[in-house]
Structure 1
Amino acid sequence: MASTTSANPVADIFSVKGMVALVTGGGTGIGLMITKALAQAGAAKIYIAGRRLNVLEAAAAQITPLAPETAIIPITCDVTSQASLTSLVSQIESETGFLNLLFANSGIGGPQVPQPGPVANGSSEEVISAKDWAAQHLAVPMDDFTQTFAVNVASVWYTAMACLDLLDKGNKQGNLGWTSQVIVTSSIAGYNKKAPGGYAYGCSKAATTHAIKQLAVVLPTWGIRANGLAPGLFPSEMSAPIVERIGGAIGGSDAVPISKSIIPLGRTGDETDMIGTVLYMVSRAGAYCNGNIVLIDGGRLVYFPTTF
């Protein structure tokens, strides 16, 4: 157990001083918030992985002045490619030799098809026909649907497997007072039966959440934990179209006012909400959690038929 005998034991509980972490999709949106949380809480080294090196480098430049003692290392990686994951892990292995935390955050939204509803028909309205609604789905290439699963589900599993030995070595390194961990960013969409974020996305995030629970059963074999984060609407590239559709506009990392008929708290989440939640999960404060899915949505799910 990490010591809490300093002048500020509460700060120690939420500190990640000395941690070595990998955050996939760590350059924008929620991934950037996660990286900021780790850096400002004292992480020694954070690898941020994604497909756009310029975005990752901009994120590193933004965070470094906030936490100059933390090394932010951008690495180009396609999480759907086993070869790319192998290259990523090889670099971490050669430079550092271990990980304490894998935050598998990469994700995509997937194709959008409107839900069935009334359509204008002269002076009256009628529900779209089953044939026409099905045609809207069939107009989307199947590859677009399955690619959502490739990024949101398969890449989570393969990233975890690729990093498993590094996480095991993190436990053996003993540089922290708590065990190595995999955290996966899922979504409230995995519980929402109405699928406002798209059917492919909702199905994929349900699978993501189940993958987290499966990992939480097997990874403790090697003393490694697995937990998940299920956010609602937060400022990000992915959420911007949804927020705009329900009456808001994304601008930076601040909360966006939203009608309380849509989100009971009357706003989206913001950077501070995410940083506080992440620090609980990654620090000594959350070290007894395994198999947990932390829901953070301002109450949005209460307005939907859900499985939560």
Structure 2
Amino acid sequence: MIEFTTFPSLTATWHNTTYPTISPRQPRLSVSGKAILITGGGRGIGPRIAHSFASAGASFITITGRTLSTLESTKAGLTSEFPNTAILTAVGDVSSAPAMDAAFSALSAANGGKGVDICIHNAGYLPDGKSVVESEAEDWWSGFETNVLGSFIVARAFLKHKKASSTADVPVLVGVGSAVTALSPPAKGTSGYSVSKMAQQRFFEALAEEEMGVRVMQVHPGVIETDMGRKGAANGTKVPVDDISLPADFMVWAVSPEAAFLQGRFIWCNWDVEELKAKKEKIVAEPTLLAVGVGGWPFQP
């Protein structure tokens, strides 16, 4: 059993559920008129992320996933509660370039050909929690196919179909990362997941350097009782659980102009946003803070 009772935190305040500052009902966090695509939108935290963006006034939301029934169920619930938000579905795996290109293209077309404003890349895969010698190669590599190749394919499709960038309103790509990239040493039995999520983080950092007209970051979504969360628990990992409202509402704040200074960084949804903003100068001045590296967070030299 691997048990964590506390995690390192960049802010003195630690949240386990949503709070007023990140409420999607806040006028300053409005995404009115925007087109948003969420991968892994049919299950786990995906539907709740879609709910938060619909609450913030999104005009179009596309949810992608591998199972039509879960996507249609999520769409029905969102359409009933938010009739002014058009909900689109796209069946396909994130490791399929044709499927992702089609999903982004359809959303851009629905938005009058103006492109996609925001992408939340939420889809991920957790390999079985086994030692290297006990792991099945196919399952171990599935972490890389979804978490790394999938990130590349989704990011490339977003870049092809993103809206035109402007100084005041840039397109935003947020990847759902994992705390495993920040904790050292990695827990036993997590090589397939921790290494693939570390590679995913590095990919997002590289993308942030290449695409200066796009805001890119990664967010650790906390520990949520989803299928992946339960699989992790079954694999022998015990951690404090967060309410699903926290990562969902935090994503709406993360795409707002308030979070622009976090370009290329890896942040935790548990951190207090007001305290994060107060650390803006320090974060901007230290390129290795909240980034992958031997001397990176949480072990600064």
Q: TM-score of the superposition, structure 1-length normalised?
A: 0.73
Distance 1:144 1:245, change over 3 A: closer
Is 2:119 aligned against 1:102? yes
Distance in 2 (alpha carbons) for counterparts of 1:60 and 1:196: 38
Is 2:89 aligned against 1:74? yes
Distance in 1 (alpha carbons) for counterparts of 2:74 and 2:108: 23
Distance 1:275 1:90, change over 3 A: closer
Instruction: Give the paired residue count.
Output: 248
Contact 1:191–1:202 at 8 Å: present in 2 too?
no
Q: Which residue type is aligned with residue 203 of structure 1?
A: V
Match of 1:239 in 2: 229
Match of 2:268 in 1: 295
Q: Report the alpha carbon displacement of residue 152 of structure 1 after superposing the two structures with TM.
A: 0.4
Q: TM-score of the superposition, structure 2-length normalised?
A: 0.75
Distance in 2 (alpha carbons) for counterparts of 1:60 and 1:243: 29
Q: Report the alpha carbon displacement of residue 159 of structure 1 after superposing the two structures with TM.
A: 1.0
Is 2:215 aligned against 1:215? no
More divergent stretch after superposition (187-196 vs 238-247): 238-247
SS of residue paired to 2:83: coil
Q: Which residue type is aligned with residue 41 of structure 1?
A: A
Contact 1:24–1:50 at 8 Å: present in 2 too?
yes
Is 2:195 aligned against 1:195? no
Distance 1:197 1:103, change over 3 A: farther
Distance in 1 (alpha carbons) for counterparts of 2:28 and 2:37: 21
Match of 1:279 in 2: 252
More divergent stretch after superposition (141-150 vs 192-201): 192-201
Distance in 2 (alpha carbons) for counterparts of 1:196 and 1:45: 42
SS of residue paired to 1:64: helix
Distance 1:31 1:13, change over 3 A: same
1:142-168 CA distance string (max 9 Å, x none):
22212210100111012111120321x
Q: Which residue type is aligned with residue 149 of structure 1?
A: F
Distance in 1 (alpha carbons) for counterparts of 2:34 and 2:109: 17
Q: Report the alpha carbon displacement of residue 139 of structure 1 after superposing the two structures with TM.
A: 4.2
Q: Report the alpha carbon displacement of residue 283 of structure 1 after superposing the two structures with TM.
A: 2.3
Q: Report the alpha carbon displacement of residue 90 of structure 1 after superposing the two structures with TM.
A: 3.2
Match of 1:63 in 2: 78
Distance in 2 (alpha carbons) for counterparts of 1:16 and 1:195: 38
Q: Report the alpha carbon displacement of residue 83 of structure 1 after superposing the two structures with TM.
A: 2.2
Contact 2:104–2:116 at 8 Å: present in 1 too?
no
Q: Report the alpha carbon displacement of residue 88 of structure 1 after superposing the two structures with TM.
A: 2.2
Q: Which residue type is aligned with residue 224 of structure 2?
A: F
SS of residue paired to 2:150: helix
Alignment of 1:252-263 (within 5 A): 263=239
Q: Which residue type is aligned with residue 105 of structure 1?
A: N
Is 2:182 aligned against 1:184? no
Contact 1:233–1:243 at 8 Å: present in 2 too?
no
Q: Work out which of the two has the higher radius of gyration on C-alpha atoms and give 1 or 2.
A: 1
Distance in 1 (alpha carbons) for counterparts of 2:28 and 2:189: 36
1:249-297 CA distance string (max 9 Å, x none):
xxxxxxxxxxxxx65xxx4111221233112112233244311212135
Distance 1:179 1:197, change over 3 A: farther
Contact 2:179–2:220 at 8 Å: present in 1 too?
yes
Q: Which residue type is aligned with residue 53 of structure 2?
A: L
Contact 1:233–1:297 at 8 Å: present in 2 too?
no
Match of 1:148 in 2: 143
Distance in 2 (alpha carbons) for counterparts of 1:294 and 1:202: 16
For CA contacts below 8 A with separation 6 or more, give which structure has more relative contact order: 2
1:6-41 CA distance string (max 9 Å, x none):
xxxx93211111110110001111222211111110
Match of 1:171 in 2: 165
Q: Report the alpha carbon displacement of residue 244 of structure 1 after superposing the two structures with TM.
A: 5.6
| Structure 2 gap ranges (5+) | 1-24, 272-295
Contact 2:38–2:120 at 8 Å: present in 1 too?
yes
Contact 2:118–2:172 at 8 Å: present in 1 too?
yes
Residue identity over aligned pairs, in percent, reads 26
Q: Which residue type is aligned with residue 73 of structure 2?
A: A
One of 137, 152, 156 as aligned partner of 1:157: 152
Distance in 1 (alpha carbons) for counterparts of 2:188 and 2:48: 24
Q: Which residue type is aligned with residue 209 of structure 1?
A: Q
SS of residue paired to 1:32: helix
Q: Report the alpha carbon displacement of residue 225 of structure 1 after superposing the two structures with TM.
A: 1.0
Contact 2:37–2:120 at 8 Å: present in 1 too?
yes
